[in-house]
Amino acid sequence: MSAAAGLPRLILLTDRSQLRLGRGLVRTVAECVSAGLTHVVVREHDLDPHARHGLITALAEIDDLTVISSRTDDPAAHGVHLAADGPCNAELLPLPESNDGAEEVITPRYIVGRSCHSAVEVKQAAGEGADYATLSPYAETASKPGYGPPIEPAELAGHEIPAFALGGITRDNAAAAREAGAYGVAVMGAVMRAADPAAEVAALLTAVGR
């Protein structure tokens, strides 16, 4: 789990449709990085592949930011986050790399995450080689009203891989998710809809630690 060893306590998921009028996604994420964000999962599934690749490339150029592509592999990304019902894509985990003509070594090319909705699914993701999992929904969420029911907080604890509480996470309940046993939190709406996304990231980091 070498890649997971460097995972933060906060991961941001993008949804540019929730940004306030006039806000651009790349600029918004850059502002969040200035507030301490280090990892982002790029969703934006409505974009055509060329435009989405351009977006991921632009985000990957932000210093100190790890960019994870949701659902589909992207050569500009540092990782991939698989859907709950998507294929394992285990072939993404190890890639042989040339070592100046010496014997080839196997090194992880990607951080691999998996969306999960139960403790059983997190265990399965760990068995497939995932580095982390999101476990959702933690609470009622404005981004997906009616999505649920919320998981039992006890399901967040005791996993072989880091489990991030996702869904309805705010600065007010993020600490409780950590106290329940979550490794960290994954947030979309609370940051994407905020008047000041960077300030929201700073508040979330204060709640969950770094």
| CB 129, CB 110: distance < 8 Å | no
**CATH number assigned to the domain with residue range 4-97+106-208, chosen from the 4 options 3.20.20.70, 1.10.1240.10, 3.90.420.10, 3.40.50.11540:** 3.20.20.70
Alpha helices in 35-160 (DSSP H): 49-60, 119-128
The pLDDT tens digits for 100-130 are 444 433 334 589 999 999 999 999 999 999 9
Residue 79's SS3 state is strand
Q: Look at residue 107 in the predicted model and tell me its pLDDT.
A: 38
Best CA proximity match to 43, nearest among 11, 65, 21: 11
Q: Look at residue 146 in the predicted model and tell me its pLDDT.
A: 60
Q: Look at residue 140 in the predicted model and tell me its pLDDT.
A: 82
The pLDDT tens digits for 143-176 are 666 666 889 999 999 999 999 999 999 999 999 9
* pLDDT(95) > 60: no
* pLDDT(93) > 50: no
The pLDDT tens digits for 177-208 are 999 999 999 999 999 999 999 999 999 999 99
Write down the domain spans for the chain.
Answer: 4-97+106-208
Mean per-residue pLDDT over the chain, rounded: 88
Q: Look at residue 89 in the predicted model and tell me its pLDDT.
A: 55
* pLDDT(41) > 80: yes
Per-residue confidence at 92, pLDDT binned at 50, 70, 90? very low
The pLDDT tens digits for 56-87 are 999 999 999 999 999 998 999 999 999 988 77
* pLDDT(6) > 90: no
Dump the DSSP string for 153-199.
GGGGSS-SS-EEEESS--TTTHHHHHHHT-SEEEESHHHHT-SSHHH
